[in-house]
Amino acid sequence: MKIFIKLLLFLIIFITLSIVSFMVIFNLGMKSGALVAVLFIFLCFVIFCFSIFGVVKGNLNFIKLRNRTQVVGLMIFSICLTIFIGLAAFVNATIEHGLEKPNLDLEAKTRFLASAVFQVPTQKHLLKEEKSGITYLFPSGNKEDIEKFDLLINEEKTSFDTLFGSVDSAQLLIEVHNDSASLEASSTLEDVGGYYNAINQTLHLRSNDDNWENVLLHEYTHYRIDQFSEKQNLPLSRLPLWFQEGVSELLGNKESYGIDLESVETLDFHVLDSNNTFHQTSNENYNPYIQSFLAVESLVNDHGMKIIPELMLSDTINEFYQKLEAVNRKNLTEFQETFIRDLVVDREKIDEQFILAFEAINTKKYEQAEVIFKKIKENGLKYDVEMADEHLKTIYLDQGLYEKAISLIEIKISRDDNGFRTKDLLALSESYLLVGNSEKALVSIEFARDEMSAEHFFAQRIDKFVEAYQKINSDNSLAGYKMLFEEELFINKKVQKDLKEKLLLDYPGEF
């Protein structure tokens, strides 16, 4: 019975000293914390020396340890306490060095440590809400951010599921930060727009980021890569970091169109394999994310999106590179030397196709131009697809093919990243008038009004447009049509001409 009492006493003393040492060390800076740790460890060393003496002697009667077994217990106690104190000092120094913020108190360091391992919020006083299986933590006043984050993830989830397989999103937690300072304080990163913590499956974002869609999809891609690896029982470290970042940039809707490909420098891919070396390469002349993105884009251009999960099924980094060389039919060095050049060639081919399409339009060979634009949509980048759609819309309207124009515009405005949305809504409202659907025309023009910025060319007159369309949908539709012509409320001259011809038949003698 006495031995159990002594064991319990040892345990109580160990826990007490561990808590005290942890609290004292974490309340101090890196150097002072290390000094206190040395003092604690010296105390442990003294206890260890006494225990050695006790083992030789066979007992330490003056502290009620009657045999060698009990003395060995004291020795183990001193060793364990030394390890704990050393670990506490090391973690404290790591946090101090990583965050580079002096005078952090015990609570701040403990929160940082806990949030790095568990799904503990890095900020105080956050609201909590679950949407579509994902848990959101956010400051008061950021409810709208949660709505738009949830909407975007749900819109893109099908494409992610097609690429990576389905996933249980209930494991994911997204924490929203009001500013960069809060975001950077939650990690050891600088100039960061967001990050994903694979240890506790938490995603951190800034609420007021102009590029929030790209950042959210980029970090969500990291989460899906992590879940794919876990589902396949494969370590995340088997994939080079450049490949993970490149895929995340690609699925984050990054565009290479604005990148000066001719000036992009490349490094040995192996230097970009790990987290440490990847970020160390970054400087004012070199961005590892650009090389990573362009390399993955080149692979997708040549082999399609299916190449991503195929390479992700590699068991090791060596196997990854073996597969990469096999699908490319060239060694890694050759791929590194040629993938930028291949992208330049692809860009030149697309540019040549646009030139041919414009030449066809100028000679009114619209069918030929349509074929070329559709080919561009099959092979081009997102920007190319947007521009091809915009020109297709124009040639449909110029030919009076309003049904085709409507079908195309409806697809365009369904895309959240459509940069011509207001312009498309205006064109859609006019097109609906030509096909006799004045109700949808009114809905479209009202959407255009609601989404139109104050700087838009038609911002000062949009209420007139809406008024005319409302009259068209009233008992006095003729007054609405007359208002369109009297106040010249048209976007497209071809539409104006065709609508007048239609109204001459519908309302003889009125126009």
d(CA 216, CA 105): 31
Sort strands 134-138 and 194-197 into parallel, antiparallel or unpaired.
unpaired
Closest CA to 111 of 185, 19, 37, 179: 185
The whole-number pLDDT of residue 422 equals 87
Whether residue 192 is predicted with pLDDT greater than 60 in this model: the reply is yes
Sort strands 202-206 and 127-131 into parallel, antiparallel or unpaired.
unpaired
Whether residue 3 is predicted with pLDDT greater than 80 in this model: the reply is no
- Provide, rounded to the nearest whole percent, the portion of the chain with pLDDT above 90: 36
Cβ atoms of 330 and 338 within 8 Å: the answer is: yes
Cβ atoms of 196 and 223 within 8 Å: the answer is: yes
d(CA 256, CA 328): 21
Mean pLDDT (whole number) for 133-145: 85
Closest CA to 204 of 193, 190, 189: 193
Whether residue 509 is predicted with pLDDT greater than 80 in this model: the reply is no
Number of Cβ atoms within 10 Å of the Cβ of 90: 14
Cβ atoms of 247 and 292 within 8 Å: the answer is: no
**127-131, strands of its sheet edge to edge:** 127-131, 134-138, 173-177, 202-206, 194-197
- Provide, rounded to the nearest whole percent, the portion of the chain with pLDDT above 70: 90
Number of Cβ atoms within 10 Å of the Cβ of 1: 5
203 CA to centre of own chain: 9
DSSP state of 82: H
The whole-number pLDDT of residue 508 equals 83
For residue 9, give Cα distances in angstroms to 2, 3, 17, 58.
10, 10, 12, 21
Residue 439 makes CB contacts below 8 A (sequence gap 6+) with: 473
Whether residue 28 is predicted with pLDDT greater than 70 in this model: the reply is yes
Residue 322: HSE in the Cβ half-sphere, 13 Å Cα cutoff: 8
d(CA 15, CA 44): 14
Mean pLDDT rounded to a whole number for the chain:
85
Mean pLDDT (whole number) for 125-143: 85
Q: Where are the beta strands (DSSP E) in 172-248?
A: 173-177, 194-197, 202-206
Q: What is the DSSP string of 268-327?
A: -GGGGSSHHHHHHT-BTTB-HHHHHHHHHHHHHHHH-TTHHHHHHT-SSHHHHHHHHHHH
- Helices and strands (H, E) in the chain, number of each type: 21, 5
pLDDT in tens, 227-268: 999 899 998 889 999 999 999 999 987 777 778 888 888 999
Mean pLDDT (whole number) for 33-47: 84
Residue 337 makes CB contacts below 8 A (sequence gap 6+) with: 266
d(CA 92, CA 29): 8
Q: Please report, for the chain, the start and end positions of each structural domain, with discontinuous segments joined by +.
A: 2-116, 121-233, 400-506
Closest CA to 249 of 382, 379, 387, 158: 382
Find the helix or strand (DSSP H, E) in which 264 lies. Answer: none
- Position 416 confidence tier, pLDDT thresholds 50, 70, 90: low
- Position 454 confidence tier, pLDDT thresholds 50, 70, 90: confident
d(CA 362, CA 435): 27
Please provide residue 285's backbone torsions phi and psi, each rounded to the nearest 5 degrees. -105, -10
Closest CA to 164 of 312, 44, 380: 312
d(CA 240, CA 296): 12
DSSP state of 118: S
d(CA 221, CA 160): 8
Mean pLDDT (whole number) for 356-376: 94
Whether residue 102 is predicted with pLDDT greater than 70 in this model: the reply is no
Q: Which of 36-50, 117-131, 195-209, 359-373 has the lowest mean pLDDT?
A: 117-131
Residue 436 makes CB contacts below 8 A (sequence gap 6+) with: none
CATH superfamily of 121-233: Collagenase ColT, N-terminal domain (3.40.30.160)
Closest CA to 432 of 421, 443, 440, 422: 440
Residue 243 zone, left/alpha/beta (φ > 0; ψ -120 to 50; rest):
alpha
The whole-number pLDDT of residue 402 equals 93
For residue 208, give Cα distances in angstroms to 180, 184, 212.
9, 14, 8
Residue 490 makes CB contacts below 8 A (sequence gap 6+) with: 430, 484, 496, 499
Number of Cβ atoms within 10 Å of the Cβ of 325: 15
pTM to 2 decimals? 0.70
- Position 105 confidence tier, pLDDT thresholds 50, 70, 90: low
Sort strands 173-177 and 194-197 into parallel, antiparallel or unpaired.
unpaired
Q: Which of 91-100, 464-473, 485-494, 500-509 has the lowest mean pLDDT?
A: 91-100
